[in-house]
Amino acid sequence: MKRLSWEARLGIALVCISLFIYSAKYLVFGDPQNTLYYLFNALGFLPINVLLVTLVINQLFTVRAKREKLEKLNMVIGTFFSEVGTWLLATFSDSDPESGLLVTDNWSNDQFENFQKNLKNHEFSVDIQKVDLDELRTFLNGKRNFLLRLLENPVLLEHESFTELLRATFHLAEELDMRGDTLGSLPPTDYDHLSGDIKRVYLLLVLAWLDYMKYLETNYPYLFSLAMRTNPFDENASPVVI
């Protein structure tokens, strides 16, 4: 016979405790009618008790669990930008003829939301001739194991947009790596193909970066301050506080 689960053992123990208490009450006071009266009172309150536990307390635990999951998720996203994302954003934005995505350190939530809406009008075009593809390939190859570990992280399974960013980045790394030493002599059609892969990563990077900046400004101002001083869209950015 299989051992009972801890839930079953707990349930049996609680029922036994209740039986013991009511039995003790009957033995001490010797009034079965009064004992039954309190028993039915307790049973009458049971549905309300279940309501409080399942809807109110459970909701509080759910909110706490979501907050903890969000914390872990943003820790992973922060690591990604520290290791890979910020460098890629700086590289791609330098090759974007219409790059002007500057965020200041005193933005409000409304400014973030309005800026995200205005991104629909941005082309995110990257002049691939200005991108050092050999340097990009070398950089991504050096981060391959890091990207693989992120893809295997269970925390990211429910974050579809960031998972898509990781897939797109890993795909770009594979595309560049498979071309070997021919990156400087590819036909125009192939450059157009790589440009599309870069554009995909660039767009997803910007959206993820803005969400992360908004999170940092609200929850971790000191991290947001550093992120603004190293803004990948600002060519004059410096970590030195002036």
Q: What is the pLDDT of residues 158-183, one digit of tens each?
A: 678 888 999 999 999 999 999 888 88
pTM above 0.85, yes or no: no
DSSP labels, 65-121: HHHHHHHHHHHHHHHHIIIIIHHHHHHHHHT-TT------TT--HHHHHHHHHHGGG
| Domain locations along the chain | 6-61, 68-229
Tens digits of residue pLDDT in 177-221: 998 888 888 899 999 999 999 999 998 998 888 888 888 888 888
Q: Residue for token digits 């869209």? A: 233
How far out from the chain centre does Cα 174 lie? Answer: 24
